[in-house]
Structure 1
């Protein structure tokens, strides 16, 4: 469908846009249609309940709840209610529970009485207070997923040591592990300590302890990989450092050389490949097939080969997007009235758009075009608006414009989109709010911008 549209069969696209993309995907396999529908309905029902439960039981935002629902499927409130009730009885606050569920949502499906309760009682029997227990486990909730008591003890004590040491105003080096040399736990603790010594923060450091990834399990390989990443200049305080370490640890030197050679064959310089690695380390995970498919998709959007290389160099994350997600994003914009020429411009200026959901693209475009009456060309000229939060950035600023137009202070035509949406908050407020001499008007506009109603005096 996508390739046909991009070669000019616009009428077919518009007809297909009336149908659900999910339905089209299901029809691709007619023999399994009924079972697919049943599975899809069950999945949607579970996802809908999960989102609703997280919003109402923990006060999480809908957006965050939708993200969590892709990792855990709750069928009813019985089990998660039992888990939350148990944790609250041990002194966990709502804030800590939100953090736990966000980082380890599968805990909501655990057996509260048969599995979690004995582990909590065991940790308390070792002298942990309720406040210490909740603080430690909210940092690394995956500890509660460990089965053996000895392992739980080791990881819990280490996390506790890190937390207490980091509370000191001076850097405190952790004591050496007393575990048998060469054991997996000893390797993990030693390697985590090495990362901490380099400045890797708690939020990135502690979750690695219980990770299934083999990153921390080795000794010589870990040291070698760590040395390479440090020499590349990655900042240990950022997530890119850990991501780069994972990649270097995963592949042999020969495998890395082969991947670099592949990109060189595509037309990149070696220095460009490593520059892209510095921007987005996981880009080296992509297979040659995935990269080739990505390039073909971009060609169908009207980009020339040199433009594609430039785009990938600028935004290597785009290679990781699935073909389905990319096609949905492009199909959505075509359905909304953008031309293939518009897509080419948008891709050059804001390639991130192909990683956004169809729902987000549609909602933002319809608000700007239908509600605010900006033309599609305005969106094409400032495609970064697709990346702005509708709730936190776009709507508040547009509400200020509406207020000014209602009062006749802006003229009959909207200003161009870029000065309104693409500038920083301070620049926007100075241009459209603070410049007015009427203090009452400024206060009113500020209230409109922040979404807070002014009290009548």
Structure 2
């Protein structure tokens, strides 16, 4: 199926092109399953005689980016790794100037994100967050924590902010400390989990969290085990709240009426 999507590979020399490309890529990402991932995402790159890939990887090695982080970039953001060398160097220098540590994953994530975004888009994202109450410093701090927050659509940012600020009562500036939240599904993850937590808080079964990400970051099975199954007998409706069949406010009002 991979070859069917890019038949031009069959026109390339096995000895002079495909095998050398494979060997070079394998030296970077190490594992064959990661090579397959790269091919599935950006197969056309493998068919090119790229003059940029090797020098770009060398730049990262020269500034101390670990092999594991280089592998992460190539596997998850291959377009950046294959971008024009002068542009790649410019982006890397910009990320360094922003204070990112080359030994951490967020460094290569920032390289991938900035490489992808046009300057006009970068500025427009700052404006989106500004309209939602963030200062420029808060937006930059959020980017340093989780660079992918600058790739989120304006519509998604607005919906998540509206729910968390207007429905859940979070402070807008506090959300900048947990920018990962924008990468989660609003309908499938954020809303049902927040509603379950609100039910448990209103019942006095759990304490308020300093970081809401404590429950948003959990896998679904862990969340269900810790916050639904554990309290199923005391609050039988929890699973329906989690599934969106009952609004948490209905449960809250029921508790108020019963005096529990």
TM bucket by the smaller chain? 0.7 to 0.9
Candidates 141, 161, 178, aligned match of 1:382: 178
* Alpha-carbon distance, 1:339 to partner: 1.9
Residue 269 to residue 395, structure 1, CA distance change in 2 (3 Å): closer
Residue 434 to residue 377, structure 1, CA distance change in 2 (3 Å): farther
**Cα deviation digits, residues 191-225 of structure 1 (max 9, x gap):** xxxxxxxxxxxxxxx253254x7333213322432
**1:320 maps to 2:116:** yes
* Alpha-carbon distance, 1:269 to partner: 5.2
**1:219 maps to 2:13:** yes
**Within 2, Cα distance between the matches of 1:416 and 1:255?**
42
**Cα deviation digits, residues 90-117 of structure 1 (max 9, x gap):** xxxxxxxxxxxxxxxxxxxxxxxxxxxx
Match of 1:435 in 2: 230
Candidates 243, 247, 250, aligned match of 2:48: 250
**Within 1, Cα distance between the matches of 2:178 and 2:154?**
18
**Cα deviation digits, residues 157-203 of structure 1 (max 9, x gap):** xxxxxxxxxxxxxxxxxxxxxxxxxxxxxxxxxxxxxxxxxxxxxxx
SS class of match (1:250): coil
What's the RMSD between the two structures over aligned residues? 3.5
Match of 1:397 in 2: 193
**Within 1, Cα distance between the matches of 2:206 and 2:145?**
30
Match of 1:355 in 2: 151
Residue 287 to residue 427, structure 1, CA distance change in 2 (3 Å): same
**Relative contact order, CA 8 A, sep 6+: which one is greater?**
2
Candidates 78, 82, 85, aligned match of 1:285: 82
Residue 268 to residue 451, structure 1, CA distance change in 2 (3 Å): same
* TM-score in terms of structure 1 length: 0.44
* Alpha-carbon distance, 1:334 to partner: 1.5
**Within 2, Cα distance between the matches of 1:417 and 1:361?**
17
**Within 2, Cα distance between the matches of 1:387 and 1:269?**
25
The answer on whether the counterparts of 1:272 and 1:313 sit within 8 Å (CA) in structure 2 is: no
The answer on whether the counterparts of 2:149 and 2:182 sit within 8 Å (CA) in structure 1 is: yes
**Within 2, Cα distance between the matches of 1:363 and 1:226?**
43
| Largest Rg, 1 or 2 | 1
Candidates 26, 32, 37, aligned match of 1:239: 37
**1:418 maps to 2:213:** yes
Residue 378 to residue 217, structure 1, CA distance change in 2 (3 Å): same
